Amino acid sequence: MDKHHSQHGSLRWSHGFLAVALMFILFAFLLSSLVTSQYVVLYLQKEMFPNSTLSSSNVTTCNFNTSTEEYRERTAVQKAASVFNIYKTLVENLPAVIVSGVIGGLSDKYGRTRILIYITTLTTLSGCLSSVIIYLEVDVYYLLFSSFLYSLGSGLYGLLSICFAYMSDVTSPGKQRTLMITLLEASLGIGLAVSGFVSGFIIDSVGFFYASICVCAAAFCSMLVVVLFLPNSRPPNMLLSGTSTIENARASFVFYFRASPKRHKYILAIIIFMTAAFSILGKPTIEILYQLNAPFCWTSVKVGYYSAMSTLAKMILGVASVKILQKFFMEESVAILSGISGMAACVLEAFAINDVMLFLVPVIGFLSMIVLPMTRAILSKLTPADRQGKRLFNTSND
């Protein structure tokens, strides 16, 4: 990594440990999602229909006849799993949205590295708690306690906001920062892809409990990388230590309401980002239920393969396309192309009737993910370098 001087410091090779920590934590994130989603379905099958063939292992049949008892049982389990997912999503995301809204400002005061330690520690504890719940085979709704613990660390949202603020600290605005943000997205893709490839084999070979232990171990490795190797992005004298926690929390929202020439641009960009994230981040859990049920009835291994292929297509091929697309299009145009790719993929997935059609979905939608880094890059350019965490507006300057 070439040394690059920014307003606050320099881009050094040691800053690359941020990508390593992200790969570990994203590996844990996806593996946890895959393990939990499939474990919940298996648990509910045994709980609701203990004498059914669905509850036995090595079931390979996939009867799509709606009049059969097997189909009715699968549908009932799918509905029950969907209800659980609703509660899990609420518990996992509502507190995380609140925490992530203030955590950027807190990172301005205490430093990005300290906040990353806080997030990875809670993620580790959440994974370990899930392991205990799965080992004891108690009601799956106890997993909501694990989800709540994860959300107190701001979840994936807060993690990414701090990581991108960290990268903004050591880069300058423009294409160089856009490229570094996109490369950071690629490191996420590597962690997700590896997790997808190995998840099915881990679950099949050692079961859900030890797969959950792997989640805990990966999150712990991420925490160790941050603690032992990741340098601070800002020197101590540049932290906003004189401001109170309430001021930092307030600064995370004030620019939406305070008069400024950039306010409407911020609001429009954040609406675009939220809409894209709603489509992209909300799909995986539903996709797993879709794949486990008729007419596909996939195994854990095939679910993992699809997850890995989807990740590779979106976050490796898609990210690799950014540099080429930037030569011909503005960032806003690249984001539009990304949206078109995502829409086409969703339409195909809705009408898929066999494995081939389903595996073509990530191929068509390989650009769908890059709308997120493009919007982040636009927001980052709107934000002064010394306000990347909380984006505090001063109307006289902005």
Angle between helices 175-228 and 371-382 (to 10 degrees): 100
Q: What is the spatial distance between Cα 159 and Cα 303, in angstroms, rounded to a whole number?
A: 26
C-alpha 388/C-alpha 164 separation (Å) is: 9
Assign residue 109 a region (left: φ > 0; alpha: ψ between -120 and 50; beta: otherwise): alpha
Against a cut of 0.85, is the pTM above it?
A: no
Q: Which helix (H) or strand (E) holds 133?
A: helix 112-136
Q: 106-129 burial string, b = 16+ CB within 10 Å, else e?
A: bbbbbbbbbbbbbbbbbbbbbbbb
Measured CA distances, 273 to 164, 174, 283 (Å): 15, 19, 16
Task: Supply the pLDDT for residue 254.
Answer: 67
Residue ranges of the chain with per-residue pLDDT less than 70: 1-11, 53-66, 173-176, 235-257, 383-398
Burial state string for 318-348 with b = 16 or more CB within 10 A and e = fewer than 16? bbebbeebbeeeebeebbebbbebbeebeeb
Beta bridge partners of 11: 4
Whether 54 and 77 have beta carbons less than 8 Å apart is answered as yes
Q: 313: which 2 tokens?
A: 């297509």
Which pLDDT score is estimated for 392? 38
Specify the pLDDT at position 240: 60
pLDDT in tens, 171-229: 776 666 777 777 787 788 788 889 988 998 999 899 999 999 999 999 999 999 999 99
**All structural domains of the chain:** 12-55+69-235+250-387 (1.20.1250.20)
Contact by Cβ (8 Å): 56, 289: no
Coil, strand or helix at 11: strand
SS3 117: helix
Query: Which backbone phi and psi does 305 adopt, to 5 degrees?
Result: -60, -45
Q: Are 233 and 113 in contact (CB under 8 A)?
A: yes
SS3 197: helix
